[in-house]
Structure 1
Amino acid sequence: MSETYTSGLGEGTRRFIAVAGLLAALSGVAILVWPGHAWKAITVVMAIYAILAGLVYVIGAVVGKSLGTGGRIGHGLLGLLYVIAGCFAFGQLSRTAVFLALFVAVMIGVMWMMEGFVALFVLSTGESSAWNIIFAVISILAGISLVSSPLWGAVFLWWLLGISLVVLGLLNAFRAIFSKKKA
């Protein structure tokens, strides 16, 4: 009889995995049912982070004794930029959420294209060049499609994330709940 990963874990760890799986599934449902609100919630978290990080940089610039003059000025300016960006994100929540979605889609598209080109450049070093070519072509085409239509790409990736969170979260929770303890 094969042993599952969760069967060897303690009860507290299994509960944590079950709760984390259920939270992931609920997050996925929120993404699928309220995609705009879920993206805005992520934008709020990022705006809060930007403001807090900015305050840390500004405080560090004021009280940091190990920083020279240039370091203090740089930290202070960077902190102000973070705070301004965070405040702008709060003031223009919908626009910032759309910008972030488009930015993420374009960045993923660029990374996929780069990954495809790298796979083509290393063809001579690998033994399985057919698989490398297939991977490279698919990766480049997927990247081009995201970059050429970032809004549709962002929507697709958002739905894929929501579905993945629901399915994988529930599977993780069921795996933790229904696995038997190791005897």
Structure 2
Amino acid sequence: MTNEPSIRDTATNGIRTALGVSGIFAIIVGVLILVWPGRTAVVVAAIIAIYAILAGLIYASIGIFSKTMRAWGRVGHIILGILFIVAGIIAFMNLTLATGVLAVLLSVLVGVMWIVEGIVALSTLGDSSSRGWSIFFALLSVIAGIVLLFSPLWGAAVLWWLLGISMVVLGIINAVRAFRIGRRA
């Protein structure tokens, strides 16, 4: 008998580590969202601005250095790269404004998706085994979507707060799962 860990033990330890690390990360981010919602949102906007600049550099590089791409493809990549870089720089020039714009944009997007989701739920009533719940869900979804469209900044704040709570709760659950994996009942 060897002292080497089995493949199952190695996999279990990998899963345990992944769950534990992701759980702790989620708890930290969730607490930051709940304790410093504005500052955390600005950090997220900064991360997105950095991503935009990096993506812009990559797109522009592809357009400039590609040997196989046709002229219009290269020009398109260069223009897209420049747009990404300019958007990132503009976001960094006023991160607070960029954060607000991003929050409103995401809130409107979620509002539209909820309205569409409610309409789709209503359109499938004939196939539903639970018509009452389907109608309730559809109406709630449409109403919530309309509320987000008419007050996107308030909706973004509520969604941000709910995200923070969810991350803390799910992070705790993942951390507990990390300790429980591999144990026999």
Output the TM-score relative to the length of structure 2: 0.89
| Offset of residue 179 of structure 1 | 4.6
Residue of structure 1 equivalent to 2:109: 107
Check the 8 A contact 1:8/1:181 in 2, yes or no: no
Name the aligned partner's letter for residue 89 of structure 2.
Answer: C
Distance 1:46 1:78 in 2: 16
User: What residue number does 2:6 align with?
Assistant: none
Determine if contact 1:8/1:182 at 8 Å carries over to the other structure: no
| Conservation of the 8 A alpha-carbon contact between 1:15 and 1:177 | no
| Cα distance, 1:180–1:92 mapped onto 2, change above 3 Å | same
Checking the alignment, whether the CA contact within 8 Å between 1:109 and 1:143 is kept in structure 2 is: yes
Q: Output the TM-score relative to the length of structure 1.
A: 0.90
Q: CA deviation at 1:24?
A: 0.5
Q: Which residue of 2 aligns with 1:49?
A: 51
Where does 1:1-183 land on structure 2 (aligned, <5 Å)? Answer: 10-179=12-181, 181-182=183-184
Q: Which amino acid aligns with 2:125?
A: L
What is the alpha-carbon distance in structure 2 between the residues aligned to residue 49 and residue 180 of structure 1?
38
Structure 1 residue 16 displacement after superposition: 2.5
- Report the 3-state secondary structure (helix = DSSP H, G, I; strand = E; otherwise coil) of the residue aligned with 1:10: helix
Q: Distance in 1 between matches of 2:100 and 2:26?
A: 23
Q: Which residue of 2 aligns with 1:3?
A: none
Percentage of pairs with the same residue = 46
Q: For residues 10 and 127 of structure 1, do their structure 2 counterparts lie closer, same or farther at Cα, with a shift above 3 Å needed?
A: closer
Structure 1 residue 68 displacement after superposition = 1.1
**Alpha-carbon distance in structure 1 between the residues aligned to 2:127 and 2:182:** 46
Task: State the distance in 2 between where 1:40 and 1:110 align.
Answer: 24
TM-align CA RMSD: 1.9
Determine the C-alpha separation between the residues in 1 that align with 2:57 and 2:77.
10
Could you tell me which runs of 5 or more consecutive residues in structure 2 were left unpaired when the two chains were aligned. 1-8
Quote the Cα distance in structure 1 between the aligned partners of 2:110 and 2:18: 31
* Number of residue pairs matched by the alignment: 177
Rounded Cα–Cα distance in structure 2 between residues aligned with 1:34 and 1:132: 37
